Amino acid sequence: MADYQAPLRDMRFLLNEVFDAPTLWQSLPALAEVVDAETAEAILEEAGKITANSIAPLNRSGDEEGCHWQAGEVTTPAGYKEAYRLYAEGGWVGVGGDPAFGGMGMPKVISAQVEEMMNSASLAFGLYPMLTSGACLSIHAHASEPLKQKYLPNMYAGVWSGSMCLTEPHAGTDLGIIRTRAEPQADGTYKVSGTKIFITGGEHDLTENIIHLVLAKLPDAPAGSRGISLFLVPKVLVEDDGALGERNALSCGSIEHKMGIQASATCVMNFDGATGWMVGEPNKGLAAMFTMMNYERLGVGIQGLSTGERSYQSAIEYARERIQSRAPTGPVAQDKVADPIIVHPDVRRMLLTMKALNEGGRAFSSYVALQLDIAKFSDDAEARQRAEAQVALLTPVAKAFLTDMGLESTVHGQQVFGGHGFIREWGQEQLVRDCRITQIYEGTNGIQALDLVGRKVVGSGGTLYQAFADEIRAFIADAGSELAEFVDPLQAALDNLDELTAWVIDRARANPNEIGAASVEYLHVFGYTAYAYMWARMATAAFGKQAQDDFYQSKLGTARFYFARVLPRVQSLSASVRAGSESLYLLDAARF
Ligand SMILES: Cc1cc2nc3c(=O)[nH]c(=O)nc-3n(C[C@H](O)[C@H](O)[C@H](O)COP(=O)(O)OP(=O)(O)OC[C@H]3O[C@@H](n4cnc5c(N)ncnc54)[C@H](O)[C@@H]3O)c2cc1C
């Protein structure tokens, strides 16, 4: 596997030339003091170093060794503890955290780039800090002041980590049917009892305490998802002076043996009357969880991109070196017995597809991160509301499309290696295995598609969609005629998505099955169209600078490839959407 190199040039291009993030930061009072172009540059460069030098080298050994469970204790692979300490001491766990509690206070568009680097270096490693920052977000937004004071500083500092305990053996997608109970106590605490499964980082040896956020039901809770509350349940109880006290009544029953992310501990957690504190209001636990979900879901989308990027870096190096057969148009490497495989059209197709999907995904995730920043930091209520609406619409697309495209990229990256991609030595097969979970957890991609079509598009009567489409239309109207080669296909894709959206909204009125039948393919049409918008914006920023730097030439060439060879996928996907639900219900369950 090629040594990982953080794609800093592309990140700088997006921040400074495509989205002009520094101007936005200056306009947001909470950020103007904290970040500018130079700070961002320094942070990204440092993140690039630590992820490449200290984390990436553990990716393969972590996969081979995995985690070990013995008598309730989980040991992470060799080297993890030291790397985690280094990462925590650098302040990286709290990169997006509130400075009032010791966080770095960086906007999401910066922490998203750091997350990309960390997950490219090692997805399994990246999950430990990611779950911690997710838990911090919920605590920060919903917990009482004393709970924040007690827990956030050590969590941002990486001294304690976090976990999110939602899933139970019988309740994954449908959290309304969870059975974990929380009994109120006279002193205001709760006794939490139940079993949670698949808990990432539920137990490990990286930190001295683990702060679990647990969904549970109060004794008198209403049935379903309206009766769920959220509790903070530490592994080790914390005294009033902040010192660690007794072990809480919870334990890790076992860890899962799984397809990928072997170095990430996926735990069965047993809560046996463990002491917990309520976060937020009774029966509003799911809403409290949703605060962090937009951030987490974007983070999982970025994990897909990260594995695709890592796979591409190895594939391009291999394709330049591996020699097999001659180019169809005659020998290129005259001094060798065969040409490097990068001469072959099919190998170029795979590499360019990876490059176009990775760079499009990086642009799209940065765009969504900027919307999250406006929604969080703007003091203009209207701008905040607009950004919130964009985030609501685009989050399921970012989670599902980036991970679906991430898997496609890792499979292309494996294929470029031929048989060597299937064996372990080169590391390409690990990326395929690791990436696969990103389509499943944090709400399966099928559920993301339902959220997009059912709640966001149909549920808003198309208004959320219209706002995004209007922004693209305004961009097209402003583009000069020299950009027609990018803007015309974008316009055609948008017209198609407009029609498809109207079609889905109309059909959903008559038959509720139409939403689920259309959802996954509709999300893909949406995703390819959103990437086309990103590629048109990137092409606009690169246009006219080709002579300055190869980077811009590469950008424009990749944009042309995207419009010519990838965007046309929307045609067949749209035809599938328009076929409707009928053919899905021709067989009864017994005839499948
Ligand atoms: C490695 C790993 C780490 C994880 N980490 C965590 C964690 O840290 N914390 C945590 O709480 N959970 C975690 N999970 C759990 C994960 O979020 C769930 O597995 C996921 O949400 C799906 O739930 P499920 O497995 O019960 O599948 P189910 O809900 O049983 O779904 C099975 C299938 O049915 C589909 N389906 C279900 N309902 C519908 C519907 N209404 N419409 C259409 N299709 C539907 C799903 O899309 C899926 O394809 C983790 C899982 C794994 C494997």
Q: b/e for 269-306, b at 16 or more Cβ within 10 A?
A: bbbeebbbbbbbeebbbbebbebbbbbbbbbbbbbbbb
Dist CA 285 CA 288 (whole Å): 5
- How close is the Cα of 174 to the center of ligand 1, in Å? 9
Check 442, 471, 482, 514 and give the catalytic one. Answer: 442
Q: What per-residue confidence (pLDDT) applies to 295?
A: 83
- How close is the Cα of 168 to the center of ligand 1, in Å? 10
- How close is the Cα of 300 to the center of ligand 1, in Å? 14
Q: Is 21 exposed, middle or buried (0-12, 13-18, 19+ CB in 10 A)?
A: buried
Q: Is the CB of 167 under 6 A from ligand 1?
A: yes
Q: For ligand 1, atom 42, which residue shows the shortest CA distance? A: 447
Task: Please state, rounded to an integer, the average pLDDT across all residues of the chain.
Answer: 96
Q: What per-residue confidence (pLDDT) applies to 291?
A: 72
Dist CA 426 CA 286 (whole Å): 42
3-state secondary structure of 373: helix
Dist CA 323 CA 320 (whole Å): 8
Q: What angle do CA 373, 376, 381 make, to 5 degrees?
A: 115
Provide DSSP, 447-471. Answer: HHHHIIIIIIIITTTTHHHHHHHHH
Phi/psi at 177 (5° precision): -105, 20
Dist CA 267 CA 216 (whole Å): 18
Q: How far is CA 378 from the centre of its chain?
A: 23
pLDDT per residue over 51-75, tens digit each?
A: 999 999 999 999 999 999 999 999 9
**What average pLDDT does range 182-195 have in this prediction?**
98
Phi/psi at 71 (5° precision): 45, 45
Nearest to 357 by CA among 426, 306, 319, 422: 306
Total Cβ atoms within 10 A of residue 509: 9
pTM of the model: 0.97
Dist CA 481 CA 397 (whole Å): 30
Helix (H) or strand (E) holding 416: helix 381-416
- How close is the Cα of 127 to the center of ligand 1, in Å? 17
Q: For ligand 1, atom 48, which residue shows the shortest CA distance? A: 444
pLDDT-based confidence at residue 288 (cuts at 50, 70, 90): confident
Distances in Å between the Cα of 24 and the Cα atoms of 21, 36, 61, 166, 204 are 5, 10, 41, 36, 40
Q: For ligand 1, atom 13, which residue shows the shortest CA distance? A: 198
pLDDT at 146 over 90: yes
pLDDT per residue over 9-19, tens digit each?
A: 999 999 999 99
pLDDT per residue over 19-42, tens digit each?
A: 999 999 999 998 999 999 999 999
Q: For ligand 1, atom 16, which residue shows the shortest CA distance? A: 441
pLDDT per residue over 479-528, tens digit each?
A: 999 999 999 999 999 999 999 999 999 999 889 899 999 999 999 999 99
Two tokens, residue 466 = 């219209």
- Is the separation of the CB atoms in 227 and 219 below 8 Å? no
**Residue appearing with tokens 């149909």:** 458
Q: Is the CB of 286 under 6 A from ligand 1?
A: no
Q: What per-residue confidence (pLDDT) applies to 244?
A: 97
Dist CA 85 CA 71 (whole Å): 25
Nearest to 212 by CA among 293, 132, 141, 148: 132
Q: What per-residue confidence (pLDDT) applies to 292?
A: 75
Q: Is the CB of 447 under 6 A from ligand 1?
A: yes
Q: What per-residue confidence (pLDDT) applies to 130?
A: 95
- Is the separation of the CB atoms in 278 and 379 below 8 Å? no
Q: What per-residue confidence (pLDDT) applies to 1?
A: 76
Q: What per-residue confidence (pLDDT) applies to 411?
A: 98
Dist CA 500 CA 527 (whole Å): 13
> Does 442 participate in catalysis according to the annotation?
yes
Q: Is the CB of 165 under 6 A from ligand 1?
A: yes
pLDDT-based confidence at residue 195 (cuts at 50, 70, 90): very high
Q: Is the CB of 314 under 6 A from ligand 1?
A: no
Nearest to 305 by CA among 408, 392, 396, 394: 408
**Residue appearing with tokens 């909204």:** 505
Query: 553-556 contacts: CB < 8 A, separation 24 or more?
Result: 555/13, 555/359
**What average pLDDT does range 425-448 have in this prediction?**
97
The domain limits of the chain are 444-582
Distances in Å between the Cα of 429 and the Cα atoms of 125, 310, 353, 370 are 18, 12, 18, 33
Q: What per-residue confidence (pLDDT) applies to 289?
A: 85
pLDDT-based confidence at residue 555 (cuts at 50, 70, 90): very high
Q: For ligand 1, atom 4, which residue shows the shortest CA distance? A: 198
Query: 548-556 contacts: CB < 8 A, separation 24 or more?
Result: 551/9, 551/13, 555/13, 555/359
| Strand ranges for 109-224 from DSSP E | 160-165, 181-184, 190-200, 209-216
State the closest ligand 1 atom to the C-alpha of 202, by its place in the atom list counted from 1.
8
Q: Is the CB of 357 under 6 A from ligand 1?
A: no
Distances in Å between the Cα of 298 and the Cα atoms of 33, 134, 469, 519 are 26, 11, 21, 19
pLDDT-wise least confident of 300-309, 414-423, 514-523, 542-551: 542-551
3-state secondary structure of 277: strand
- Is the separation of the CB atoms in 297 and 395 below 8 Å? yes
**What average pLDDT does range 340-355 have in this prediction?**
98
Total Cβ atoms within 10 A of residue 99: 14
Q: Is the CB of 450 under 6 A from ligand 1?
A: yes
Q: Is the CB of 269 under 6 A from ligand 1?
A: no
Of 127, 173, 199, the one to substitute when testing ligand 1's pocket (max ligand atoms within 8 A of C-beta) is 173
Of 286, 438, 440, the one to substitute when testing ligand 1's pocket (max ligand atoms within 8 A of C-beta) is 440
Q: Is the CB of 43 under 6 A from ligand 1?
A: no
